[in-house]
Structure 1
């Protein structure tokens, strides 16, 4: 299931906003005579509404309304507008991991530590737990994850003579040359900021940091060794025409390329299987999943791409906060809530599911007609993805205005993917310059 791929700048995304009382209302139930608390949840994830019936049955005095306020950027814009207006915000909002820090810095989110979430560390995968822990607090609960993996079309690889899946980036480069000789590209990238973050993260980069008081940010893109390592490698791939730099991700042409094999693999999050099933149906039985290539033979380092959480908007109404946390806990922490979402296609963020035999032994996806489809040729694909989740490097930090940062990535670095007179390093340097200028305009001290 797709959760986040393209990020766009928010309107007024980094204005320091005051905490806001959430918009749900409390009412008295005429049937039972007991107080009923109503909460509003903003979520674009289609699996979240599926949990409401089970939750309300177990909690009859809490009513939940799930509203799709738009996917990622659209929801963030609406959320910021509501906060700025001082009314209309939900009680719970779906927020992607990369966007979470900026809401924490603004003091818009409820710290869940005192409600019980501080004891959940061992329940979640390292990458997702690290993402919701900011400045010593727990500000959301993970609802899905996106550990990176290599999804590849085995038929195209075999045709090109790539009989062994690349396990290092050097091997990936050699495979790319063989695949290009057949007329296909090993993968595509037109300048996706989220992909850039994930790939530099996997290379060990830590270019961003924010002080605990939220006043100082570090932007070290031009000096970070991990950023340099990945940028140099990807520049070589661009220079030698080994990746498709003209077909935007998630476009019709991109799905066509995956479907006909002209794009032979993807380096992306573990939520990808059902997107391949729907977007590239002719690839059924041809595709496989493998671990990400690493920089050294035998390496295991990995990163996240996508994934999101549910956070409680700060409120002065204790009853609503408690009700909201009960729903949060049900969706993200209870076995019933998690199973409901995973059965609908979400990739889990919890260790219990990732270790369960039902999950690990799966060899098929369920298509739109309810039929089993062995899209990955009978491979137990979740075993690969579960391993990928355990190998995510923790400690990667996002900017407190990451949504804005990703929104201008293409403006500064995008030309490097199609114009050979501009290098990717130059594009990244321009991005850093503009990020620094923007940060200073918002009152940050920049290191």
Structure 2
């Protein structure tokens, strides 16, 4: 999952492109025996404070029971504030955490600023070949590994099975055209809106951009692609969903409104990720019976189906004073045993092949439901400026949905902003 980069974080990227920030890129071997020597590890966890954090607190307690000489200072940091707080703490060195839960898009940015410790050859990175290729790719920058995959994710179509049945729909839409047709049926028979399109976060544009065969940039050729023909088609598709009445949207507080309407049964479909499963299942309403929740691959555009690679990783602060204990903590938290516990408790998706292969994991509804979506995942550009791509896109996305810009001008303005910010063609 990803949220837009804050202005202060972007400023740090630009500043650190000119001067070295943080610590050294050389990962010297950890010394000592942390299990025997002990220490204190401060971990900043960005999981949902109500739905997910209790599970992580329990696992931290298990770690402390296994390694009684190591104390973990657990801090739950709201995801919306985390990127700014992490960048500020690392840049100043003041009360900086030893370990962070890093959204995959943050890793190359923080690595480029020399804030993260390379983990190749350290105790933190055990069983590296067991990690799925896509999550592993998101932990590397310029040939080095700066994080260890925690959970992987992508986006999928969530739908209300009872509403579908009442409208006479026997399967989730496979294409955007089918989504519009289904929405019309739901409106006609139930008087409800078919689909909620989140309008305040540009990350929700990506399935439509990928579905039309587009992308934001081509990092290999350093070319801006968001405003090519595929990008314009995607913006037309998005606007068409709202203009046709197939979708409702909001430009403010989109997450809360989307989740509330879906939970209440006021809309039949939304695009979301495994990070939302705990909230949906614990929120009652239309999903008091969890079996009413259906999950399918995002509807395809003219070029096919595709949703962004997301997820979270564990990373160690380069200037941590507790390196050995921190690496042992990351090793434990990313182990197969702990990944299985997290998946069973929260329904999130593991990053280790060995965990996916376990029958008790493969049989979990969320794992089964997201398997096809994970297989169709689209890699985001793993560049330091990756998160900064969303701010211009968010501005033009809002202008598009509000009718202030046409699909063509919204795509063009986004592309022009990218070329100015990146210096690419």
Same fold (TM over 0.5): yes
Q: Which residue of 2 aligns with 1:438?
A: 421
Q: CA deviation at 1:140?
A: 0.9
> What is the aligned counterpart of 2:149 among 136, 142, 145?
142
Q: Which residue of 1 aligns with 2:249?
A: 245
> What is the aligned counterpart of 1:168 among 158, 175, 187?
175
Q: Which residue of 2 aligns with 1:366?
A: none
Count of aligned positions: 402
- 2:153 aligned counterpart, secondary structure: coil
Q: CA deviation at 1:295?
A: 4.2
Are 1:409 and 2:393 an aligned pair?
Answer: yes
> What is the aligned counterpart of 1:352 among 327, 351, 354?
354
Q: Which residue of 2 aligns with 1:310?
A: 314
Are 1:19 and 2:22 an aligned pair?
Answer: yes
Structure 1: gaps spanning 5 or more residues: 22-27, 363-379, 440-444
> What is the aligned counterpart of 1:428 among 399, 411, 418?
411
In 1, Cα distance between the equivalents of 2:135 and 2:35? 41
Q: Is the 8 Å Cα contact of residues 207 and 307 (structure 2) preserved in structure 1? A: yes
> What is the aligned counterpart of 2:228 among 218, 223, 226?
223
- 2:22 aligned counterpart, secondary structure: coil
Q: Which residue of 2 aligns with 1:192?
A: 201
Q: CA deviation at 1:235?
A: 2.7
Q: Where do 1:147-158 residues align within 5 Å?
A: 147-158=154-165
1:251/1:280 CA distance change after superposition, 3 Å: farther
Q: Which residue of 1 aligns with 2:371?
A: 386
Q: Is the 8 Å Cα contact of residues 417 and 424 (structure 1) preserved in structure 2? A: no
Are 1:51 and 2:59 an aligned pair?
Answer: yes
> What is the aligned counterpart of 2:282 among 265, 278, 282?
278
Q: TM-score, normalised by structure 2?
A: 0.82
Q: CA deviation at 1:218?
A: 4.0
Q: CA deviation at 1:397?
A: 0.8
Q: Which residue of 2 aligns with 1:400?
A: 384
Q: Is the 8 Å Cα contact of residues 232 and 411 (structure 2) preserved in structure 1? A: no
Q: CA deviation at 1:330?
A: 0.9
Cα deviation code 1:99-121 (max 9, x no counterpart): 22211222221221222677745
1:296/1:351 CA distance change after superposition, 3 Å: farther
Q: CA deviation at 1:304?
A: 3.5
Q: Is the 8 Å Cα contact of residues 206 and 224 (structure 1) preserved in structure 2? A: no
Q: Which residue of 1 aligns with 2:344?
A: 343
Q: CA deviation at 1:9?
A: 1.5
Q: Is the 8 Å Cα contact of residues 187 and 263 (structure 1) preserved in structure 2? A: yes
Cα deviation code 1:335-378 (max 9, x no counterpart): 3322332233151222333332222334xxxxxxxxxxxxxxxx
Q: CA deviation at 1:266?
A: 1.6
Q: CA deviation at 1:141?
A: 1.2
Are 1:7 and 2:4 an aligned pair?
Answer: yes
Are 1:294 and 2:272 an aligned pair?
Answer: no
Q: Is the 8 Å Cα contact of residues 145 and 307 (structure 1) preserved in structure 2? A: yes
1:223/1:186 CA distance change after superposition, 3 Å: same
In 2, Cα distance between the equivalents of 1:95 and 1:83? 13
The alignment's C-alpha RMSD in Å is 3.3
Of 336-345 and 144-153, the range deviating more from structure 2: 336-345
More helix by share: 2
